Each structure stands twice: as C-alpha cells, then as structure tokens.
Amino acid sequence: MNRWTDVNGIYQIYPRSFMDTDGNGSGDISGIVDKLDYIKGGEGSLGIDAIWLSPFYTSPMVDNGYDISDYCGVDPLFGTLDDFKRLLDEAHRRQIRVMIDFVPNHTSDRHPWFEASASSRDNNHRDWYIWRDGKTDGSAPNNWLSVAGGSAWQYDEKSNQYYLHSFLKEQPDLNWDNLEVRAAMKAVVDFWLSMGVDGLRADAIRWMAKDRSFVDKLSNPNYRDGQEDPYHSQIHHHHGSADQLRTYLGGIAATVEDYDDRIMIFEDYPDFSVVTPQERYRPYLELYDINPRVAMPFNFGGMFMPFQATSFRDFIETVHSYLQDSRIPVYCLGNHDQSRLVSRFGQEQARLIAMLQLTLPGLPVMYYGDELGMSDGHITEEFIQDSFEKNNPGVGIGRDPERTPMQWSHDVSAGFSKGAPWLPVPIELRGVTVADQQADRTSFLALYQNILSLRSKSSTLRRGVYETCGTNNEHVFSYRLSDKEHVFTIVLNFSDQTTQCQVGEPNPDIIAATSQPVSLIDENTVSLRPYQGIVIARRISTNS
C-alpha cells in the first residue's frame, strides 16, 4: 500500500549546505540528524514529513556528489554509512520519510566501472559506457553538446576513442542498453531500499536514452546567442525515445514497487523551446506502463512561469485536466539548480507562490531555505565552487548562488558551521534566519508552518478534487479543493495593486493569509493587498 499521499510535502536538503557539525565548513549527515526537530518536532518546527537528500555518496565532488564513485558508500565529507543509518532511524522515529538521490545516467570518471571501461577497448566493462570512434578527421563523433558546456564527447588518447558525457567530462554516461548495467543499478536500488530508505529521486533521466543513430542535432532557430545557455542552441529532441526510457525507468520502478510504500520521483525539465510542460509530462502520466503511484515526474512547469494569474491558472488547469485519480502531481518550484524563489519572483511574490504550492493536491517539494525567503547568494570569484561556472565563466549556468549555507541564527556563519563555510553566508542576515523567524508570527517561516500544519490536518488539501473558480478579476487566480467534508477556496492576487474580487463563499472563514490584514468589503467580496493570498475554509454540513 502506498501512503505517500498522506505526506504533506517533501523538503529538499542539500547536505553540504544544511548543517556542519565537524567544523570543516561543509554540512554533514550528523548535522541533518541534529536538525530533524526543526523539520518535524515541537514548537517552531517546519512541520514537514519527508526529506530528500541530494547525493552524499563517495565522490570526487567535481559536481558536488552527482559524480559518484561508489553508489553504496558515504563520502567522508558527509560522515559514514552508520551516520546515515542513524539518520534513517531518527527520521523514522519522528515519522519523517527519507528520500535519497539516485543518479542513473552517469558515474564519476573515477568509478571503478569507468576505470575498467577506460583501461582498454576489450575490457569487459568497455560497453558499460558509450564509446565511439571520432570522425575521419579525428574530431568528435557528432555535434552533441554537454549540459555543463562544450562538446558532450571527451577524447581518450589511450584507446583513440571518445566517450559520451551529457554533463561534465568527469561524469561519463552509462550505457543503459547493456543488461549488466541495469542489473548493477538494480542492486544499488535494492541496497538502499532494503535498508529502509523510503524513496528515490532519479536524476537526469532524459539523458539515459540516447538517440541510437547518433546523428547531429539541429540548431535551435529560437536560440538567442549570448542571452541564454549555449546548450539551448541545439534542439534536443534526439535525446532518446520514449520506448527506451520506458524500458529503463520501468525496470527501476518495478524494483521500487517490490518494496512496500516507496516511490520514485524523476527529474525531467520541460525544454521550452521544444516542448511545453504538458507535452513533457503528459506521456509519463498517461502512456507509460509504470505504476503512477510508484513513479512520477517532478512537475517543474511553474518554475519558469511568468508571474501572472492567467499563466499559473492555465498551467494548473492543464495539469489537472489530464491527471486521473491515481496520478500524483509533484509540484516543484525551486531546487539546487535554479535561482531561489525570492530572487526569481520577488519577496512578496514568493509568499504567494508558497501559498499556491502548498494548497495544491499532490506532493509539494520545497528547497531548504526557501521557507525563510533566502535569496541567491552573492558569490565573488574566489568563492566559485560549481564546475559548471568554473568551466564556462559568465554564461549564467553556475549554481552556487542557490546553494549557500542554511541560515540558522546570528551566530558565526549564520549558525551553520564553526569553520569557514564552503560557500559564503551573507554579511547582513536581515531577519532571514530560523531564529528570527521562529519569533515572528508574520515571517516567511510562520507562513510555511501555518499552511503545512493545515495541510497535515486536512486530506482535502492534500488530495481534494481541484476546480478553478471564476473571479471577476484577471489578476486573481482562485481555485477550490473539495471532498465530502470540506471545501477550501484559495484566492491569490498576482498584481502589485490592491484589488477587489468576489470569492463565491458568503461570509468567508479566512484561515490563512500571506499577509495581514485581509479586508472584507461585503459578505462576498474581499479586498486583497498587492500579492496577497488567502485560504477560505468551509465545512460541508452532513445534516442535510
């Protein structure tokens, strides 16, 4: 039985940036254990019942752990396997589920599998990765680009062949057509799930399936040179076919399904120049013969949405039009690869977005620090850590700003570490700390706590039936979630002006607001301040 639909949300922890207990400036697993009460505990806690940890596995850390050299080991930077087991126990004792990252597309170039594969053309691991001859002039086999910048092919002098890396050259792509690779990765999944891990977040799944013809990619006619990531200068339709992906993902999902009450959420972004969010996600939800309660995609459609009521309304409405009962939408609006919510949308706007995300049915995924309204850090040259930025300075693909340390208090390094933090904390914390916000009923944190608490108590908010409400105002997006017992009406003002709108609920009982006060004009009409959102509750009378 899958009880993940009872979970009120998932909190993403970037282990290196959450809490450092050994003073080396990088967060660790013991730090996460120490902060579990903040995640779910008593007074002042966030009140969320699942966490997802970005990679903590053995790694040369060229891509901060997404370059894995041992899938079943813990990197000493983060602690030991026993520390992880303690985290699992302590989390479960608090009824917090633990989801971990699973990186199927590539390993580190220092993984023993790759070292064997690169050792000679006839090594029995050769075919575990994707090796090709260069063109007759010796250049790369085709024009494919790496997401991390430059060609996706790296020349290996020893064997006079190229290997494919969809990300950094230190992250060679595995060959998922090789059955031994699939079996080895199944063993990894079994290792963690049999230990008691509750779920997997599967990384970069789109790249697992390659276009087997290996033909050149076409140029993207909509590409704005110098204004966007050079990766988008090509059309990436060719990345694999649905059938291949279905086979690979279906295999992993089947393993996940062998265990009771586990899920897998996979990462796939809409590529706006080629496909819309619905074109990207719909096939996963409709066509794949994967149990949709076990494996589902993140929906990142809202991440890059213009901040307009109509855009969000159309997006959410479309998602719900193709969701059937068993489908679980996983709305994710921020993570370790994207500029922070506040930096993308603005302070007040981010509070509205938080209310939207936490009052939609499904599984909302939140990124650590967004609940405080942390903004992107200012990273001066000497602090740059991300290889994407180091290898391609200034093109805007660096991700350090959204990975700065969690801001706990006004202690040294914002209470994150007694040593020098691996990425800087802002000099002025301006109330953006857990300590400040726990003491302030109007804070960002208080807003998250309030709505998460409503969400925990009410299955209507987690899985009620969604319906868009008409308002008489194009700047207001309103919707209703209902079941047999309750109706919640959410009204969100996306404009920077005070605006009046009818809420369709006489004498509304307003149980949450992004800001105060909320003014009632008459029994049906509210006046909403700029970017103000409210939640109205009604109990359905059972007497009639």
Q: By beta-carbon distance, which residue lies closest to ligand NOJ?
A: 66
CA distances for 343 relative to 334, 346, 377, 378, 445, angstroms: 11, 6, 10, 11, 17
Distance CA 372, CA 38 (A): 13
Binder among 20, 28, 49, 63 for ligand NOJ (CB under 6 A): 63
Size of the site for ligand NOJ (CB under 6 A): 9
For position 75 contacting ligand NOJ by CB under 6 A, the verdict is: no
DSSP string of 266-335?
E-----TTT--HHHHHHHHHHT--S-TTTEEEEE-TTTT--S-HHHHHHHHHHHHHH--TT---EEB---
Phi and psi dihedrals of 33, rounded to 5? -60, -45
Restricted to residues 266-285, the positions that interact with ligand NOJ (CB under 6 A) are: 267
Distance CA 517, CA 528 (A): 9
For position 204 contacting ligand NOJ by CB under 6 A, the verdict is: yes
Distance CA 89, CA 236 (A): 42
In the complex, minimum distance from the CB of residue 392 to ligand NOJ, in angstroms, rounded to a whole number = 13
Phi-psi region for residue 277, left (φ > 0), alpha (ψ -120 to 50) or beta?
Answer: alpha
In the complex, minimum distance from the CB of residue 398 to ligand NOJ, in angstroms, rounded to a whole number = 11
DSSP string of 97-163?
EEEEEE--SB--TTSHHHHHHHH-TTSTTGGGB-EE---TTS--SS-PBPTTSSBSEEEETTTTEEE
Binder among 163, 167, 288, 477 for ligand NOJ (CB under 6 A): 167
Question: Of the listed 20, 203, 268, 370, which one is catalytic?
Answer: 203
Restricted to residues 360-389, the positions that interact with ligand NOJ (CB under 6 A) are: none
Select 367 or 488, whichever has its Cβ closest to ligand NOJ: 367
Select 29 or 204, whichever has its Cβ closest to ligand NOJ: 204
Select 376 or 505, whichever has its Cβ closest to ligand NOJ: 376
Restricted to residues 77-96, the positions that interact with ligand NOJ (CB under 6 A) are: none
Q: Which helix (H) or strand (E) holds 539?
A: strand 533-539
In the complex, minimum distance from the CB of residue 16 to ligand NOJ, in angstroms, rounded to a whole number = 12
Distance CA 496, CA 348 (A): 10
In the complex, minimum distance from the CB of residue 381 to ligand NOJ, in angstroms, rounded to a whole number = 21
Q: Print the binding letters for residues 303-342 with ligand NOJ: x by CB under 6 A, - otherwise.
A: ---------------------------------xx-----
DSSP conformational letter for 234: B
In the complex, minimum distance from the CB of residue 160 to ligand NOJ, in angstroms, rounded to a whole number = 27
In the complex, minimum distance from the CB of residue 245 to ligand NOJ, in angstroms, rounded to a whole number = 16
Number of Cβ atoms within 10 Å of the Cβ of 178:
16
For position 173 contacting ligand NOJ by CB under 6 A, the verdict is: no
Select 103 or 429, whichever has its Cβ closest to ligand NOJ: 103
Select 28 or 267, whichever has its Cβ closest to ligand NOJ: 267
Number of Cβ atoms within 10 Å of the Cβ of 335:
23
In the complex, minimum distance from the CB of residue 527 to ligand NOJ, in angstroms, rounded to a whole number = 42
Select 262 or 399, whichever has its Cβ closest to ligand NOJ: 399
Question: Of the listed 49, 198, 267, 370, which one is catalytic?
Answer: 267
Restricted to residues 415-454, the positions that interact with ligand NOJ (CB under 6 A) are: none
For position 494 contacting ligand NOJ by CB under 6 A, the verdict is: no
DSSP conformational letter for 431: T
Select 74 or 103, whichever has its Cβ closest to ligand NOJ: 103
For position 66 contacting ligand NOJ by CB under 6 A, the verdict is: yes
In the complex, minimum distance from the CB of residue 337 to ligand NOJ, in angstroms, rounded to a whole number = 5
Question: Known catalytic residue: 474?
Answer: no
164: Cβ contacts below 8 Å, ≥ 6 apart: 129, 130, 131, 132, 144, 152, 153, 172, 173, 210
CA distances for 237 relative to 198, 228, 240, angstroms: 33, 18, 8
Question: Known catalytic residue: 279?
Answer: no
The maximal CA–CA distance of the chain, rounded, in angstroms, is 82
In the complex, minimum distance from the CB of residue 310 to ligand NOJ, in angstroms, rounded to a whole number = 30
Specify burial of residue 324 (Cβ count, 10 A radius: 0-12, 13-18, 19+). Answer: exposed
Number of Cβ atoms within 10 Å of the Cβ of 371:
23
Binder among 49, 203, 348, 370 for ligand NOJ (CB under 6 A): 203
For position 103 contacting ligand NOJ by CB under 6 A, the verdict is: yes
Select 52 or 408, whichever has its Cβ closest to ligand NOJ: 52
Select 171 or 278, whichever has its Cβ closest to ligand NOJ: 171
Edge-to-edge strand ranges of the sheet holding 330-331: 330-331, 295-299, 263-266, 199-202, 97-102, 50-53, 10-13, 365-367
Q: Which residues are catalytic?
A: 203, 267
Give contact residues for ligand NOJ (rule: CB under 6 A).
63, 66, 103, 167, 203-204, 267, 336-337
